[in-house]
Amino acid sequence: MTHLNRRDLLAGSAAMALLPGTAFAAGDKFFRLGLAEPGFTIQPKLDLPDPDGTVHTLSDYSGKVLLVSFWATWCPPCRKEMPGLARLGQELGPEGFEVLAVNVGDRQDRIEGFLDEFDHDGLTVLMDTDKAMPSTWFLRGLPVTYILDGTGKVILAAIGDRVWDSDEMISALRTLKST
């Protein structure tokens, strides 16, 4: 198994390839993990509460394609993409997908105030108030999104905001369920 460090993830080392113009919608760019080197994996962990205090772990979502988006209320691109992530979760949730929106560093009242601004059904919001996830998930900026397969293996990563609820994105994400 190859060790992944932050520089590799952000620079696109030999262990991964930047795929411009993938099937994931015109203009979107994803890092496809594990493409260039067999056995390459990230072993992410997640052990965070939602606003009600229920702690969520990755094993809670075993068997589902999981989209994990890291965001903050002070981040304009994050704020822009959150309603689309909620709509994506509403659309694909019944098909075995789950969307986790992991807030990094905000107080609970700020998170809840922002969520009151739009229909956030379809999102499972988690709180990383201690900012433990940036080092675990190799976050250097926000938003950053990872897509995990049903076994918990990270298969795609996106740095920056996306239009998650576009027809092209939804269609492309559906193909992950069958791979």
* DSSP per-residue letters across 62-109: TTSEEEEEEE-TT-HHHHHHHHHHHHHHHHHGGGTEEEEEEEES--HH
Of the chain, the percentage scoring pLDDT greater than 70 comes to 75
Which of the two residues, 173 and 37, has the higher pLDDT score? 173
Q: Which residues fall within 8 angstroms of residue 48, CB to CB, at 6 or more apart?
A: 55, 56, 102, 126, 127, 128, 133
Position 176 scores a pLDDT of: 83
Q: How confident is the model at residue 166 (pLDDT cuts 50, 70, 90)?
A: very high
Q: How many Cβ atoms from other residues are within 10 Å of residue 52's Cβ? A: 6
Position 83 scores a pLDDT of: 96
Dihedral angle of Cα 16, 19, 23, 27, to the nearest 10 degrees: 140
47 to each of 56, 69, 116, how far by Cα in Å?
A: 6, 15, 25
Mean predicted lDDT score pLDDT of the chain = 78
Domains along the chain? 6-177 (3.40.30.10)
Position 42 scores a pLDDT of: 52
Helix axis angle, 76-92 relative to 167-177, nearest 10°? Answer: 60
Quick: pLDDT tens for 119-137.
999 899 999 999 989 888 8
Got the DSSP string for 119-173? --TT-EEEEETT--HHHHTT-SSS-EEEEE-TTS-EEEEEES---TTSHHHHHHH
**CB of 50 closer than 8 Å to CB of 126:** yes
Position 153 scores a pLDDT of: 84
Which of the two residues, 154 and 93, has the higher pLDDT score? 93
Q: Give the Cα separation of 46 and 68 in Å (integer).
A: 10
Position 178 scores a pLDDT of: 59
Q: Which residues fall within 8 angstroms of residue 3, CB to CB, at 6 or more apart?
A: none
Q: How confident is the model at residue 34 (pLDDT cuts 50, 70, 90)?
A: very low
Position 16 scores a pLDDT of: 29
Position 151 scores a pLDDT of: 87
Q: How confident is the model at residue 152 (pLDDT cuts 50, 70, 90)?
A: confident
The answer to whether the peptide bond before residue 38 is cis (omega within 30 degrees of 0) is no
Q: Say if residue 41's pLDDT is above 80.
A: no
Position 43 scores a pLDDT of: 59
Of the chain, the percentage scoring pLDDT greater than 90 comes to 54
